[in-house]
Structure 1
Amino acid sequence: MTKNNSSPIKSYENKDGKTLYKFQVYLGVDELTGKARSTTRRGYKTKKEAELALARIKLQVSEGTYKQVSTETYQEVYDLWITQYEKTVEESTFVKTVGYFKNHILPSMGSYRIEKITIAICQKHYNEWASKVKKARTIKSYAKKVLDFAIVHGFIQTNPFTHVETKVKKAFTESAEDENENFYTKEELILFLEKAKVHLNYKAYALFRLIAYTGMRKSEALALTWNDVNFVESEIIINKAIGRGKQTQLYLKTTKTGKPRTIKLDETTLSILKEWNKLQKQQYIQLGINTLKNNQLMFSNTKNDFIQPGQVQKWMYSVQNKYTLKKVTPHGLRHTHCSLLFEAGASIKEVQDRLGHSDVKTTLDIYTHVTKKAKEGAIQKFVSYLEG
């Protein structure tokens, strides 16, 4: 009499020659495709362990509570998510996001099975990112988005990144606060613009004057066209910006808030822009370029295309280096404008509207970095009030 060997439990040898057990179990018919479903489980050390696992799955299938273990990796879920994400953001934002994943997140987590990622694993990688880069919280927020996407699609039930601790105790260090502040005082700004007028070409000088006296972003200034300025009403409309897209190409996009804003210009800045407008026509006609069209860029390169944002910083640093001036970035001129507006007595709402901050918190954060003169003025008011 032959022995019945119909048991679904089968033995096999792994690569180390060790005997393990596996089985295949029927899961019913897939409602979507109408095809039979089954799954194979392996890696059991004993036949008894495999029999218990098989019985457990059969019970879950009969009760309708069985959920097949996901085999998706973080990389595979990311590939699905990034396709959808690209449709929802500006090209420049998309490129920046891909960089976060390529340089930090995917090298750390890409090969993990999505359902095996724990809070401890996420915390470990956040700590690694925090030890290497300043934008660890930003990286963590993007890594979390992929797992949020996995929840929506039923791959996992909870997001372990939700419970990652991002607060760290900062050690006390003696810091030269004034050296690190990225803005000029009133006197420093006047000196910088005086030297910029002498050292730079008129186009670069006009650009720095405009940024310093409007507080607009560098990307917004480089996207301006001459039909954005109203010389009669002394106004300029800021409704676009340049961004860096795929293959590092510059392109036009909306402002950071997505909303246009119209701000007033002072007479001196207007006259400087008029002078540059006249010089631009003279200089560019020698290059064979017609600058009379309505959408002519206010500031363009010698090919009448967008100026590279890095060039603006080179111009600024060349002035600072030549005359040994305080190192401030082009974005620091925006902070300078904000600080001096507060020093001049402008309200928080006025500053928020002029600079185009979507969130008043951004305005208040800059307010905390007002110049030393404003801080000294505050204590003088306090003393005058008490002793007056």
Structure 2
Amino acid sequence: MHCKELVKGKKWVCVADGPSHPVTGKRRQVSRSAKGKGEAIKKVEQAVKELESAIVYHKDITVREYSREWYQQYLRRGRKETTNGIREEDATTLNGFMGSLEIKAVTPKGYQNFLNYLFDKGYALNTIKRIHSTGRMIFKKALEDKAIDADPTTNVFIPRKKITVEEIENDTVKDMYLEVEELKLFLVEVDKYVNFVYVALIYLLTFSGMRPGEAAALHKKDVLFESSQVRITKTLQYGKKGENKIIPPKTMTAVRTVDLDKKIMSMLQQLIDYKKEVGYPESEFLFAMSDGHPPTVPLIRNVVKRIAKRAGIKKMMNSYILRHTHISLLAEAGADLPHIMQRVGHKNESTTTEVYLHTTKGVRDSLTSKMSDRFGDLMSSKRNGE
């Protein structure tokens, strides 16, 4: 930094190099004046600091480049793993259509074409709405960051077809979990999967109701073999593989100990033995891979999708559908809602309640049969001569 007294005892000016221009790369100097030298130095240092912290985007930044940066900031909001995963998938869909375009070149017409493309490809209305919501967040933030001059997502519309009676009557809750026959098909393909770490992980998710992040964060000491239980006290914060953080759950409701079937416990012991046999490095994580780290939630989701595709499952698969499937299995087994909530670590959750109240075909048939056996005589109308 260079300082010079311009007016003796009255005015000083100081000059220092600031960060180079983000677009041209040229050198930038910062100059500030004050009555005293010390004050002038402080002003220059503050100005340089502000320039260094400011984000100025180069003029040809693409939608893909900006959306990646937006997503990294979005992760810091502390959303649920499923929400983060959904936003990532939505951004990927957006990038598949316009990722290579300069973000400033995206027009309202171009963005409308993107929504029309989703419609023409047969995306469900709610899915288009969700992807559009993510797109709006990305471009709104880009406008705030001055990466674009105008938001192309304003004044567009979501295309939709005329709703039919069949669609009104369509039951969407059943798409949130696997019916028993679907689960059988899925598990047949799971058993064929090469990496046994994922096999054991998927079985645990299905028959414990754990969240994917909770399972990935498990340490070997959390598996209580003597009592056939697993202790859940933490979750894996989403991030790049090897850069994940183990954090406490959001609420104390999620801290719990879950009873497991002895077959699942046996599989977890088999997992520990398997990793020793194949030479995996020692790790405190139960589901550590060959690099000593557990798989990320997106990796788990991708494996579940691939296996479901091989099994011919038509439902939109993700790692959370296994959690919902467990809820449906508990309901079919006769567990009450409070017990289910406690087991899966929920205090209030609409999805759990929806799946529980919907129940499965087995429960409905069983209840109908029991009602008929016990109260059939009440259903007989005397007017019909019965």
Matching of residue 298 in structure 1 with residue 286 in structure 2: yes
For 1:169, the equivalent position in structure 2 comes to: 162
What amino acid does structure 2 have at the position aligned with 1:183?
L
Q: Pick which of 308-317 and 95-104 moved more.
A: 308-317
Taking a change above 3 Å as real, the CA distance of residues 168 and 228 of structure 1, as seen in their structure-2 partners, is: farther
Whole-angstrom CA distance in 1 between matches of 2:60 and 2:130: 18
Alpha-carbon offset, residue 314 of structure 1: 6.2
Q: Pick which of 359-368 and 207-216 moved more.
A: 359-368
For 1:272, the equivalent position in structure 2 comes to: 266
Whole-angstrom CA distance in 2 between matches of 1:182 and 1:96: 20
For 1:99, the equivalent position in structure 2 comes to: 92
Say which of 224, 229, 235 aligns to 2:230: 235
For 1:355, the equivalent position in structure 2 comes to: 344
Confirm or deny: 8 A CA contact 2:129 2:158 kept in the other structure.
Answer: no
Say which of 255, 258, 279 aligns to 1:261: 255
What amino acid does structure 2 have at the position aligned with 1:268?
K
Secondary structure in 2 matching 1:264: strand
Say which of 326, 332, 337 aligns to 1:337: 326
Whole-angstrom CA distance in 2 between matches of 1:367 and 1:194: 26
Secondary structure in 1 matching 2:244: strand
What RMSD over aligned residues (CA atoms) do the two structures have, in Å?
5.5
Say which of 128, 135, 142 aligns to 1:143: 135
For 2:277, the equivalent position in structure 1 comes to: 283
For 1:346, the equivalent position in structure 2 comes to: 335
Whole-angstrom CA distance in 1 between matches of 2:349 and 2:211: 17
Alpha-carbon offset, residue 102 of structure 1: 2.0
What amino acid does structure 2 have at the position aligned with 1:272?
S
The number of equivalent residue pairs is 300
Taking a change above 3 Å as real, the CA distance of residues 363 and 204 of structure 1, as seen in their structure-2 partners, is: same
For 2:51, the equivalent position in structure 1 comes to: none
Q: TM-score, normalised by structure 2?
A: 0.54
Secondary structure in 2 matching 1:275: helix
Confirm or deny: 8 A CA contact 1:74 1:112 kept in the other structure.
Answer: no
Say which of 78, 86, 98 aligns to 2:72: 86
Whole-angstrom CA distance in 2 between matches of 1:231 and 1:312: 26
Taking a change above 3 Å as real, the CA distance of residues 326 and 365 of structure 1, as seen in their structure-2 partners, is: same
What amino acid does structure 1 have at the position aligned with 2:115?
Y
Confirm or deny: 8 A CA contact 2:60 2:103 kept in the other structure.
Answer: yes
Whole-angstrom CA distance in 2 between matches of 1:78 and 1:303: 29
Matching of residue 374 in structure 1 with residue 363 in structure 2: yes
Alpha-carbon offset, residue 316 of structure 1: 7.5
Show CA shifts across 1:266-312 (max 9, x none): 3515641563266247525xx3x553xxx522234445444553556
Whole-angstrom CA distance in 2 between matches of 1:189 and 1:380: 25
Whole-angstrom CA distance in 1 between matches of 2:308 and 2:63: 44
Alpha-carbon offset, residue 103 of structure 1: 2.2
Whole-angstrom CA distance in 2 between matches of 1:127 and 1:316: 28
Confirm or deny: 8 A CA contact 2:63 2:95 kept in the other structure.
Answer: no
Show CA shifts across 1:304-351 (max 9, x none): 444553556667888x69xxx999967454332110112233344443
Confirm or deny: 8 A CA contact 1:211 1:217 kept in the other structure.
Answer: yes
| 1:115-264 correspondence to structure 2 within 5 Å | 117=108, 125-132=114-121, 133-134=123-124, 135-146=127-138, 148-149=140-141, 161=154, 164-165=157-158, 168-171=161-164, 172=166, 182-185=177-180, 206-218=200-212, 220-231=214-225, 234-237=229-232, 239-241=234-236, 243=238, 245=240, 249=241, 251-252=243-244, 258-259=250-251, 260-264=254-258
Show CA shifts across 1:62-89 (max 9, x none): xxxxxxxxxx999799988875663341
Secondary structure in 2 matching 1:335: helix
- Bigger Rg, which one: 1
Alpha-carbon offset, residue 210 of structure 1: 1.9
Confirm or deny: 8 A CA contact 1:229 1:237 kept in the other structure.
Answer: no
Taking a change above 3 Å as real, the CA distance of residues 137 and 375 of structure 1, as seen in their structure-2 partners, is: same
Whole-angstrom CA distance in 1 between matches of 2:94 and 2:188: 44
| 1:302-341 correspondence to structure 2 within 5 Å | 302-306=290-294, 309=300, 310=302, 331=319, 332-341=321-330
Unmatched 5+ stretches in structure 2: 1-57, 379-386
Alpha-carbon offset, residue 128 of structure 1: 3.0
Taking a change above 3 Å as real, the CA distance of residues 387 and 157 of structure 1, as seen in their structure-2 partners, is: farther
Confirm or deny: 8 A CA contact 2:62 2:100 kept in the other structure.
Answer: no
For 2:40, the equivalent position in structure 1 comes to: none
Secondary structure in 1 matching 2:325: helix
Unmatched 5+ stretches in structure 1: 1-71
Identity of aligned residues (%): 20
